[in-house]
Structure 1
Amino acid sequence: MIQPINIKKFAGNYGGKFLGLSGSDQIRQVTIDSRKIQSGEETLFVALDGSRQKGSDFAEDAHGRNVRNFILPLAGEKNTDKLEDSNILLVEKPLNALQALAVMNREAFKGPVVGITGSNGKTIVKEWLAQVLSQGFQVFKSPKSYNSQIGVALSALEIQSRHQIALLEAGISQPGEMDRLKQIIQPQLGIFTNIGSAHDENFDSLETKIKEKCKLFTEVKYLIYRKDHSRINHLLKNGFDPDRLISWSDKTGADYTLSVRPEKNGSKIFMVARDLQTYTFFTTFRDSASLENIRHVIVSCMTLGMKPENIQKGLQLLHAVDMRLTLKSGINRCLLIDDSYNNDVAGLEIALEFMAHQRKPTGRKILILSEMLQEGDEIAVFQKIAGLSEHYEIDLFAGVGKHFSHYKHLFPKQSVFFPDTASLLENILGFNLDKDLILVKGARDFHFEKIIQLLEAQVHETVLEINLNALRHNFNFYKRILRPETKIMVMVKAFAYGGGSAEIANHLQKIGADYLSVAYIDEGVYLRQKGVTLPIMVMNPDMQHLNLIQDYDLEPVVYNRRTLQDLTSSPFGQPNGISIHLELDTGMSRLGFTEADLEDILTLLGKHKEIKLAGLFTHLAGADEAIHEDFSRKQLRTFDRISKVIMSTLACSPIRHALNSAGIIRFPDQAFDMVRLGIGLHGVEINQLEQEKLLPVATLKTVVSQIKKLTKAETIGYGRQGKLIQDGKIATLAIGYADGYDRRFGNGKAFVMIQGKRANTIGNICMDMCMVDVSGLQVREGDEVILFGKEPSLQYLAAQIGTIPYELLTGIGMRVKRQYILD
């Protein structure tokens, strides 16, 4: 924050109802999360409502952390009596007030602000531009992908007087959103990365979406874009003064021409500038998306007056490590959070928050952190780092960098310090790592990727990458279809559809799921041991292990009379008895009580009050096909009728649930009290009615092990089934049917993506490897290969071999490493 905020003065200008009860009115921090508060005396808490919780409910918690300045909704005025000695501004919409605060801080900043928008590449362009600009400037950049109505406001509030340039990205999903973001960002330089299909469903046309994004740039001095994006080019040419437009292309005719020539170890970029001067840049990247992003960066730096030689120095810092938080398996049964791309205080807090929501470690929480070389006020930065380490209860802090030696007194005794990365690597085995949760975060110059390489479990090079952002997107998509009060149970059985039950369950707990469901008792026990506190329904319980059900607070499904009778004769070790979910068979003809069983059910449950009816549910047999709609609606009517008889007879109000992922789409009006979300969470809309609104969560990746040149006369693989049509080359990949890559994918039944190009399988799939035809492609050994994800999709691959996406996901072998990413 550039200048402290006086809440009384702000209230006088903004409006609302102000209750001035405290003399502490100078604010240097703004937060919307009471858990992140460290210095409450100088913090303003803004209560924003979440999807399932009211922000004002956490005001008392903030007050307990010494916060004495609040912005609350008018509707929360009745709770203000608990906030003694506080300044409270009551407003109609706290988000608008938060954004107004952000505008104040933005307008106090006198340096240039770069606004970045587009469908893809916004975050990467921002991150890389910051890296290159930092060769000559003190740069502020919005952390991670903070580009929403809330994220942009929080970002703008973090700009400080020491910064010389600010980079803010803006993302929209609805018409009208950019107007408010523009008021906050107020950019002098704009970058329009590209346009794609994301959120198309919310706009009348692609042109409408482009125009909405262009609202960010109406006052910019210059606007940078790629001329080859014809629709963007057309609308900008017709809507903006040509003197403000800076176009680039790999063809002549643009303001900057940047052509690319592949090299052995990367790419050369030849640039002809507006004044016809020519320059040559080199990058280690070869894929088209990265090369487009890098050229945006080069043109932006030239526009900001940076010298080409300094641009090249910055380009050398860019590398292919994901700018995402990645959760990996580590040595000695540790979990490893890789955030080794760059380092800043805002990013550290995000990474520590991510760490706090992972499954509870049985060992220590360890933070390995480098100095923050670009963060300005040295004392303030080290004080902030020490404060964050204490706040997030780090058990062992390891600081890397010569400056740490001056600030050892700020850190707890269980801290260790090293002058450089080499010293840490020499001593790290002395940490006695075992079942620890380790966050590794460092500036690029410290080469922390060496730490990751040392600590990462050396297993298979094949990885199943789980995108937690995409998972949240899909969860919110289904939630928006339902009434606000409808609960969501998420199915995490079968290792969460192959994705990793503990990691996904902990993330679901964070984003607002109400219930979880597993198949067997041991799955529920495992989740409890990993820190999951949500209610857990067990679909196939073995009542011989009733003690585990009670000890771990699980809720078993009862679907037959024998199990119900066993429960009535069981000695319950807890005074509150046991909570169950009763399964009703309304037409699935698999498990469950029928209407004919009602009398027995009611008699037994009526006599045994220790058995609590937590839920009533049924399974729809054909919710994923329109041809069965009448039958599905009949099932729903039957369920409604039977469940009402049970509830009225027993005078109870259990949670009723009938809809699966497919049913949520087809019958949202029949959601009852709760729905069961399964395959839809993973980005597969089984009806194929709303598929474009979901994102793939799982991406299966491997690497090229070897490349061979072959003639068309030679055969490939077992049974000599593979043959090239003409002389060419094949790539052998490090994955086979033992990893879950189905044997039926062989001989051209599937394709993979390498360097953004398709390569068809050739020959039979082997146990540990397979081969693809890469004739005519620029492929190298070690290149990343995508076997499924966005393309090819799970649905496409399943259709190719006559199966369903569930089988492909749950079939991924356990030797395939799971990695969890958060953009």
Structure 2
Amino acid sequence: MKTPKPWSTKDILVASGGTLVCGDGNRSFAGISIDSRNIEGNELFIAIAGTAHDGHQYIKDVLNQGILGVLTENNKREMLPLTEMIKGNVVCVAVENTTRALGDMASFHRGASKASVVGITGSNGKTTTREMTATVVMERFQTLTSQKNYNNDIGLPLSLLRLDPTHELAILELGMNHPGEIAYLTRICLPHIGVITNIGPVHLEGVGSMEGVMRAKGELLEHMAPGGTAVLNGDDQWLRRLAGLTDRKVVFFGHTGDALVRAESIRETEQGISFSLRLPTGTRTVRLGIPGRFMVSNALAAATVGYLKGLSGESIQSGLEKFRSVEGRMHIKKTPSGITVINDAYNANPVSVKAAIETLISLKGTQRGILVLGDMLELGPDAEAMHEVIGSISAASGPGRLYVTGDFSSAVAGGAIANGLAADKIFIGTKDEICIDLSNRLEPDDWVLVKGSRGMTMETVVRWLENWGTK
């Protein structure tokens, strides 16, 4: 990762609140890295003390690569090769918490930028909305957007640190699984526009209830830049309620009459979705090359940001139509063996699973549809009941076969059987066992939907399906 403006040791000390342990206080660094495997040139290494890996264990490695600056935690000084560092005139800055220091440095860097920031969160669709929004505003502005799923206390700062003087806009994604996380991320990036796509039953283990989800997501509005604008889904009752609790200027998108940006005349085809985009400046016909009626809501959020940033209807339409699906999020692929795989394996919650099943139904036509579902995680005490509901929805879709894996697979199966799906059409097992059973049952022209929470790593099934029948 590179930062366009060199980091002086003085700026590092000011931004991080750290103290200089040793080294040349006049040295500057070309960039910042937290990964010892790909650190380059004259970069500062920040030793993140994570749950799986502790960057302090790799300080000797980066020093052997010629790195001359490290940022460490005060309580990890015994892990430092101080004699070697002093001898090599290595800059060492110590802080209380390196993850927090990374955020402080990103905030410092963001404060030096003239770019306008858009922060996007929500229970579903935030990554797709982020990418759609970036594609739209790139029609006019030099734009930075988050990489991959960089939406937490490490990923968001790393994205911000990529801001350079050419950037006019930054489109950033903010994730959470507990109260206070969105507030912290918002204070780092200080968005001028805050987008919330929807409120749904996600991360209930951390926030306790739908009310808790609303309040956690609403932290975006509370802590965004002064004079900022909230862009909210007007079709979501929880966001309607949140709008009444904030003193921010609120703009709605959706299907209701009071939405500033609306969609009408929605049509679904195998090629994607088309709809009439109603903007205050006029109406445009938009043809999205991606499936799923729910994608229209994501597109409306992106269009609203584009409108607020002064883009014409033509530019907004052009940007939306250039968007292509993100890997793992309603990504459709027809394999050489003739089956069609809907890869929606990146994450899952009750709302997104229901939407994915509805999309499968709308696309497969008369062909056989097969569901491969992993657990939905972090749902709290109601997790079993929510999985039973997904089983019922699965049964109502009339699948040729239902595959389930995870701790709540029996709950999904029970819900499906209760709603009339024959038990012999249901298979419970590991992902490997599911692939073995599929190998004996798949037929050309089958449509297979694969979905589950991130921790279920359902993409392994997707990879197997993509290669089925090719050997």
**Shared fold per TM-score greater than 0.5:** yes
- The alpha carbon displacement at 1:751 in A equals 7.9
User: Once the two structures are superposed, what CA deviation does each residue of 1:431-481 show, in whole Å capped at 9, x if it has no partner?
Assistant: xxxxxxxxxxxxxxxxxx9xx99xxx72351659695x66xxxxxxxxxxx
Give the one of 19, 27, 30 matched to 1:28: 30
Partner of 1:611: none
Question: In the alignment, is residue 806 of structure 1 matched against residue 429 of structure 2?
Answer: yes
User: 1:260–1:267: 8 Å Cα contact kept in structure 2?
Assistant: no
Distance 1:790 1:200, change over 3 A: farther
CA distance in 2, matches of 1:154, 1:75: 24
User: 1:122–1:169: 8 Å Cα contact kept in structure 2?
Assistant: yes
Partner of 1:126: 130
Give the match's secondary structure for 1:239: coil
CA distance in 2, matches of 1:183, 1:170: 11
Question: In the alignment, is residue 214 of structure 1 matched against residue 207 of structure 2?
Answer: no
Give the match's secondary structure for 2:71: strand
CA distance in 2, matches of 1:804, 1:35: 42
User: 1:262–1:286: 8 Å Cα contact kept in structure 2?
Assistant: no
| Gaps in structure 2 of 5+ consecutive residues | 372-390, 418-422, 443-459, 465-471
Partner of 1:140: 144
Distance 1:789 1:805, change over 3 A: closer
Partner of 1:53: 53
CA distance in 1, matches of 2:143, 2:273: 27
Question: In the alignment, is residue 223 of structure 1 matched against residue 230 of structure 2?
Answer: yes
Distance 1:464 1:233, change over 3 A: closer
- The alpha carbon displacement at 1:114 in A equals 0.4
Partner of 1:576: none
CA distance in 2, matches of 1:322, 1:19: 44
User: 2:286–2:317: 8 Å Cα contact kept in structure 1?
Assistant: yes
Aligned partner of 1:819: which letter? V
User: 2:15–2:108: 8 Å Cα contact kept in structure 1?
Assistant: no
Give the match's secondary structure for 1:280: strand
CA distance in 2, matches of 1:263, 1:300: 24
Give the match's secondary structure for 2:167: coil
CA distance in 1, matches of 2:291, 2:154: 35
Distance 1:734 1:65, change over 3 A: same
- The alpha carbon displacement at 1:63 in A equals 0.8
- The alpha carbon displacement at 1:258 in A equals 2.3
User: 2:30–2:43: 8 Å Cα contact kept in structure 1?
Assistant: yes
CA distance in 1, matches of 2:233, 2:25: 53
Partner of 1:760: 398
Relative contact order, CA 8 A, sep 6+: which one is greater? Answer: 2
User: Once the two structures are superposed, what CA deviation does each residue of 1:387-425 show, in whole Å capped at 9, x if it has no partner?
Assistant: xxxxxxxxxxxxxxxxxxxxxxxxxxxxxxxxxxxxxxx
Give the match's secondary structure for 2:232: strand
- The alpha carbon displacement at 1:272 in A equals 3.7
Greater mean deviation of Cα atoms: 51-60 or 185-194 = 51-60
CA distance in 1, matches of 2:363, 2:151: 39
Distance 1:465 1:135, change over 3 A: closer
Partner of 1:200: 204
- The alpha carbon displacement at 1:735 in A equals 6.7
CA distance in 2, matches of 1:171, 1:87: 33
Partner of 1:238: 245
Partner of 1:458: 336
CA distance in 1, matches of 2:127, 2:404: 20
CA distance in 2, matches of 1:284, 1:268: 9
Give the one of 275, 289, 309 matched to 1:269: 275
Partner of 2:452: none
Partner of 1:19: 21
Distance 1:178 1:759, change over 3 A: closer
Question: In the alignment, is residue 153 of structure 1 matched against residue 160 of structure 2?
Answer: no
Give the match's secondary structure for 1:36: coil
Give the one of 247, 261, 283 matched to 2:252: 247
Partner of 1:610: none
Partner of 2:410: 795
Partner of 2:109: 105
User: Once the two structures are superposed, what CA deviation does each residue of 1:356-404 show, in whole Å capped at 9, x if it has no partner?
Assistant: xxxxxxxxxxxxxxxxxxxxxxxxxxxxxxxxxxxxxxxxxxxxxxxxx
User: Once the two structures are superposed, what CA deviation does each residue of 1:500-542 show, in whole Å capped at 9, x if it has no partner?
Assistant: xxxxxxxxxxxxxxxxxxxxxxxxxxxxxxxxxxxxxxxxxxx
Partner of 1:732: 367
Partner of 1:300: 305
User: Once the two structures are superposed, what CA deviation does each residue of 1:743-781 show, in whole Å capped at 9, x if it has no partner?
Assistant: xxxxxxx8886xxx94225xxxxxxxx5xxxxxxxxxxx
Q: What pairs up with 1:260-409 in 2 under 5 angstroms?
A: 260-262=265-267, 266-274=272-280, 277-319=282-324, 321-324=325-328
CA distance in 2, matches of 1:462, 1:255: 37
Give the match's secondary structure for 1:732: coil
Aligned partner of 1:733: which letter? R
- The alpha carbon displacement at 1:210 in A equals 1.8
Give the match's secondary structure for 2:367: strand
CA distance in 1, matches of 2:273, 2:15: 54
Question: In the alignment, is residue 72 of structure 1 matched against residue 72 of structure 2?
Answer: yes
CA distance in 2, matches of 1:171, 1:70: 28
Q: What pairs up with 1:256-655 in 2 under 5 angstroms?
A: 256-262=261-267, 266-274=272-280, 277-319=282-324, 321-324=325-328, 458-459=336-337, 461=339, 467=345
Partner of 1:162: 166
CA distance in 1, matches of 2:268, 2:360: 23
Give the match's secondary structure for 1:60: helix
Normalised to the residue count of structure 2, the TM-score between the two structures is 0.74
- The alpha carbon displacement at 1:819 in A equals 2.8
Normalised to the residue count of structure 1, the TM-score between the two structures is 0.44
Distance 1:250 1:13, change over 3 A: closer
Give the match's secondary structure for 2:162: coil
- The alpha carbon displacement at 1:106 in A equals 0.7
Aligned partner of 1:273: which letter? L
User: 2:427–2:434: 8 Å Cα contact kept in structure 1?
Assistant: no
- The alpha carbon displacement at 1:305 in A equals 0.6
- The alpha carbon displacement at 1:33 in A equals 1.1
- The alpha carbon displacement at 1:175 in A equals 1.4
Give the match's secondary structure for 1:291: helix
- The alpha carbon displacement at 1:5 in A equals 1.1
Give the match's secondary structure for 2:214: helix
Distance 1:254 1:113, change over 3 A: same
CA distance in 1, matches of 2:14, 2:146: 29
CA distance in 2, matches of 1:311, 1:466: 26
CA distance in 1, matches of 2:73, 2:89: 18
User: Once the two structures are superposed, what CA deviation does each residue of 1:561-613 show, in whole Å capped at 9, x if it has no partner?
Assistant: xxxxxxxxxxxxxxxxxxxxxxxxxxxxxxxxxxxxxxxxxxxxxxxxxxxxx
Aligned partner of 1:16: which letter? G
| Gaps in structure 1 of 5+ consecutive residues | 327-340, 342-448, 471-682, 684-690, 708-730, 737-749, 762-769, 771-785
Question: In the alignment, is residue 181 of structure 1 matched against residue 185 of structure 2?
Answer: yes
- The alpha carbon displacement at 1:82 in A equals 3.6
User: 2:118–2:195: 8 Å Cα contact kept in structure 1?
Assistant: yes
CA distance in 2, matches of 1:181, 1:9: 21
Give the match's secondary structure for 1:246: strand
Distance 1:69 1:245, change over 3 A: same
User: 1:175–1:212: 8 Å Cα contact kept in structure 2?
Assistant: yes
CA distance in 2, matches of 1:73, 1:788: 47
Partner of 1:677: none
Give the one of 450, 462, 465 matched to 1:819: 462
The Cα RMSD (Å) is: 3.7
User: 2:123–2:199: 8 Å Cα contact kept in structure 1?
Assistant: yes
